Amino acid sequence: MPKKLTEIPVECPCFVQEVRGEGYLRLFDLGFFRDSRVLPLYECAGDGTRVYRVKDTLIALRDADGAPVPAINNPAHVFSMPCPHQVPINAAIRSRTKKPTLKAE
């Protein structure tokens, strides 16, 4: 289900579903268009502004500008798996095979 760009967790890559609302042409010019990959990097001090990596460029957007951009999490980064033990959020899960480490959401 699409979320607003401002609702995507920091450091969780996502893909833009659509751009709408006032100022959408400016967002297109910045690289926010359908299926473009966006990585929220961090929230600025004082809230209200987030920094995103789009097309190998860092862009700071106010929450009001990023809110009308629906996006979905990268399916490769969101998963669930049964585990008999309680696992803390953001814990690293290592496979016993030679596959790379996975990060729990």
Residue whose C-alpha is closest to residue 53's, from 42, 64, 65, 68: 42
Q: What is the mean pLDDT of residues 5-15?
A: 87
> What are the residues whose beta carbons fall under 8 Å from the beta carbon of 80, sequence distance 6 or more?
none
Q: What are phi and psi of 62, to 5 degrees?
A: -70, 150
pLDDT in tens, 55-98: 889 998 888 777 667 776 655 555 555 666 676 766 665 555 55
Q: Rounded to whole angstroms, how far apart are CA atoms 4 and 34?
A: 14
3-state class (DSSP) for residue 19: coil
Characterise 55 by phi-psi region: left (phi > 0), alpha (psi -120 to 50), beta (else). Answer: left
pTM for the whole structure: 0.62
